[in-house]
Amino acid sequence: MRQICRVDIVNIASTSGIRGHANGTAYSASKWAVRGISQCWQAELRPHDIRVISVCPSEVQTAWGGKTGRNNPNKLYASDIADAILSTLSANRRALWPEFAVFATNPWGEG
């Protein structure tokens, strides 16, 4: 019996790659590039049954860049993004979300 290998590529971009912000030129540009690469690969690889998905999370609970004040339990956690990705990948292979954004419900709310 021939075994079929299913391939999915998940690229992590950012909502900053959808809409830029002040002082974010380099970061936003790199995330725009990830989205562009994903779109090209979608066109090139879909005929081979390879799904390419671009995920654009908003601000995630990290100490990125050593910034303080990011410890907000209302922001996204890595596990939230992983859950969204796994949910998307569980869809029948005929379905494709080429790109999706993940936002915290209320990242400014009190914990």
| Residues with a known catalytic role | 27
For 58-110, strand residue ranges (E) read: 99-102
Tokens representing 13 are 């971009």
